[in-house]
């Protein structure tokens, strides 16, 4: 059986790429079932989004392959977060001033392989 690859991309996630990368580095290279378990018990908000993206990538592999796939054999070959557009807002301050607020977004990419 040759190697089956799939990927899933979550775009415009409202968190910084630095916070996402911190979590993605923990699951990179692990198998699917271990990664889901790790994400379940991590205290970060972005873990829920990463779990959904990982699940989507796994479902993509299941759709490509017509046979039953063991979750322990599916490996995360690549997981990274790229910078997305920054939402720019302003906070009004005293005496007519305004301070900028930058709300970063990111794009999460997860690639799997059987």
How far apart are alpha carbons 100 and 112 in whole angstroms? 39
Q: What is the pLDDT of residue 67?
A: 81
pLDDT in tens, 36-68: 999 999 999 999 999 999 999 999 999 988 788
Length reported for the chain: 114
Q: Are 31 and 76 in contact (CB under 8 A)?
A: yes
Instruction: Tell me the CATH number at 46.
Output: 3.90.470.10
Confidence of residue 82 (pLDDT cuts 50, 70, 90): very high
Distance CA 41, CA 37 (A): 7
Mean pLDDT of the chain: 94
Return the ∠ at Cα 12 (arms to 11 and 16), rounded to 5°. Answer: 110
Read off φ and ψ for residue 103, nearest 5 degrees. -110, 100
Identify which of 74, 70, 104, 100 has the alpha carbon closest to the alpha carbon of residue 87: 104
Distances (CA, A) of 94 to 90, 91, 97, 102: 13, 10, 6, 20
* pLDDT of 114: 87
Domain count, the chain: 1
Terminal Cα-to-Cα distance of the chain (whole angstroms): 10
- Give yes or no for residue 1 having a pLDDT over 80: no
pTM of structure:
0.89
User: pLDDT digits over 7-28, tens only?
Assistant: 999 999 999 999 999 999 999 9
| Mean pLDDT in residue range 84-108 | 96
Domain holding 73, by residue range, is 5-113
């Amino acid at each position: 059986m040759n190697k089956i690859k799939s990927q899933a991309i979550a775009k415009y996630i409202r968190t910084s790429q630095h916070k996402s990368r911190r979590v993605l580095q923990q699951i990179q290279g692990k198998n699917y079932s271990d990664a889901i378990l790790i994400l379940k018990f991590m205290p970060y908000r972005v873990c829920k989004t990463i779990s959904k993206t990982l699940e989507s990538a796994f479902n993509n592999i299941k759709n490509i392959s017509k046979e039953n796939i063991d979750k322990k054999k599916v490996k995360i070959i690549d997981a990274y977060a790229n910078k997305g557009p920054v939402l720019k807002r302003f906070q009004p301050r005293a005496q007519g001033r305004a301070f900028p607020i930058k709300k970063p977004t990111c794009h999460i990419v997860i690639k799997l392989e059987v």
